[in-house]
Amino acid sequence: MSDAFHPNGDEQGDGQRRRRVATDGGAFAYDTSERLGRVEPSATLAIGNRAAELEADGVDVVDLSVGEPDFDTPENVVEAGKAALDAGHTGYTSSNGVPELKRAIAEKLRGDGIDADAEEVIVTPGGKQALYETVQALVDPGDEVVLLDPAWVSYEPMVKLAGGETTHVDTAPSFQLAPALDDLRAAVTEETALLIVNTPSNPTGAVYSDDALAGVRDIAVENDVPVVSDEIYEQITYGVEQTSLGSLDGMTDRTVTINGFSKAYSMTGWRLGYLHATGDLVGEAGKLHSHSVSCATNFVQRAGIEALRNTEEAVTEMVEAFEQRRDLVVDLLADAGVELAVPDGAFYAMIPVDDDDQAWSERAIDEAHVATVPGNAFGAPGYARISYAASEQRLREAVDRLIEHDLL
Ligand SMILES: Cc1ncc(COP(=O)(O)O)c(C=O)c1O
């Protein structure tokens, strides 16, 4: 607390919130919540900010830190958004989403083998909000949530914001789930409130096998634990198919399926995603949804219907381009003597780095002007994550620069 302020009221540390009052005419200081003190800002965004600072100084940065496709949103989806604006779809929608979009989402999920009904869907401003609502709905203070490391940067902060604790099961160095199933079995107990699974994975690009997912099913059923299945990269796979956890026997009623439009349709800035769950969860999460975001943006939801129905060709083209870039990155790194766990999905790769990954990433951006994310942000020290959602020319340049600065 600043010296310029003193607590207004009892100073015995009784845990009561007290407003801080200026004593010497200084500026007001917010007494922010203990809850927010538990988390740090997103590490990926922090690197992005450093890249933006360098760029503002005129430095040419190859930014491989960002988690978004470098393609335009498909033209027909943009047109559908514009048409929705012209048609006056600018008011609130039903809190859980436009019925036609919820129906289209349920239809898509049924295609993935999940017995979904439109009323079991909440349409959210991004998959991130769907995850946040789910964690808030299922995690109480002191609850334990099991994560598979390396894990996406926001799971742990979401759990901490709900007052929960995380237990981590490491999948390095293969990043596959099958070899980690014994550790997962040991980590999940009847005390576990939630297990979070993300396939294809950010940051590793691993796509978990059907056998491994069946193993997750057995562990979840034995311990009567619900599972969040984050399937946001589901369409971006190379030569393998991703299976929805909620489609496995015994899993529909204990799986919250999360998905969104950001990655598959290159719609990150539109902010559109969803959750699917059976039972009470939609009602409970829906309370938070209605008291926080109200609804996802009306005309964006209309564009989402077009994205679900008429983008097959555009998605195929993007995925083919990502696959070529994946191959290029793997080859370039192999030529530089770096062996990778070859990713089968998403658009990320984990580069093993010898020294401290934080120091490596800082040198990469400050000296080579290549932005990456240090592995510790994902619970994977000793690695740096790159996104290969960049042009082939920029990817070559990045690897050349890293070699030039002795980082590879
Ligand atoms: C694993 C994972 N889940 C969820 C999200 C959320 O994406 P959005 O909120 O853009 O739908 C992301 C975005 O980076 C992600 O990588």
157 pocket-lining for ligand 1 (C-beta < 6 Å) = no
Q: Which CATH architecture has domain 43-72+313-404?
A: Alpha-Beta Complex (3.90)
Distance (Å) from CA 127 to ligand 1 centroid: 6
Domain with CATH 3.40.640.10 in the chain: 89-309
| Residue 46, CB-side half-sphere exposure with 13 Å CA sphere | 11
Q: Which atom of ligand 1 is nearest to the CA of 273?
A: 11
For a mutational test of ligand 1's pocket, the pick from 45, 149, 152, 228, i.e. the residue with the most ligand atoms closer than 8 A to its C-beta, is: 152
- 232 CA distance to ligand 1 centroid (A)? 6
Residue of 42, 124, 148, 202 to mutate, ligand 1, most atoms within 8 A of C-beta:
202
**What are 80-103's pLDDT values in tens digits?**
999 999 999 999 999 999 999 999
- State the Cα–Cα distance between residues 214 and 332, nearest whole angstrom: 35
Cβ atoms within 10 A of the Cβ of 215, count? Answer: 19
CA–centroid distance, residue 252 to ligand 1 (Å): 22
Is the pLDDT at 49 greater than 90, yes or no?
A: no
- How many angstroms is it from 247 CA to the middle of ligand 1? 21
pLDDT at 4 over 70: no
Give the SS3 label for residue 268: helix
Q: CATH 3.90.1150.10 spans which residues of the chain?
A: 43-72+313-404
Ligand 1 neighbourhood includes 198 CB (under 6 angstroms): yes
Atom of ligand 1 nearest to the CA of 201: 1
Is residue 262 within 8 A of residue 68, CB to CB? The reply is yes
* Residue owning the nearest CA to atom 14 of ligand 1: 67
What are phi and psi for residue 178, nearest 5 degrees? -55, -50
Is the beta carbon of 150 within 6 A of some atom in ligand 1? no
CA of 19 to the centre of ligand 1 (A): 36
What's phi and psi for 370, nearest 5 deg? Answer: -120, 120
CA 401/CA 138 separation, integer angstroms: 45
- Per residue in 101-115, pLDDT tens? 999 999 999 999 999
Q: Is the CB of 255 inside a 6 Å radius of any atom of ligand 1?
A: no
- Predicted pLDDT at 354: 74
pLDDT of residue 18: 54
Question: Within 10 Å of residue 119's Cβ, how many Cβ atoms?
Answer: 13
Residue given tokens 């002191």 in the structure block = 142
Q: Which of 45, 124, 154, 229 to mutate to test the pocket of ligand 1 (most atoms within 8 A of CB)?
A: 154
Q: Give 326-370 pLDDT, tens digit per residue.
A: 999 999 999 999 999 999 999 999 999 977 999 999 999 999 999
Query: What is the position in ligand 1's atom list of the atom closest to the CA of 202?
Result: 1
| Segment 177-233, tens digit of pLDDT | 999 999 999 999 888 999 999 999 999 999 999 999 999 999 999 999 999 999 999
- Total Cβ atoms within 10 A of residue 100: 13
- Fold for the domain defined by 89-309: Aspartate Aminotransferase; domain 2 (3.40.640)
Q: For the residues of 114-150, what is the DSSP string, one character each?
A: ----GGGEEEESSHHHHHHHHHHHH--TT-EEEEEES
Q: Are 216 and 197 in contact (CB under 8 A)?
A: yes
Closest CA to 407 of 129, 64, 3: 64
How does the average pLDDT of the chain come out, rounded? 93
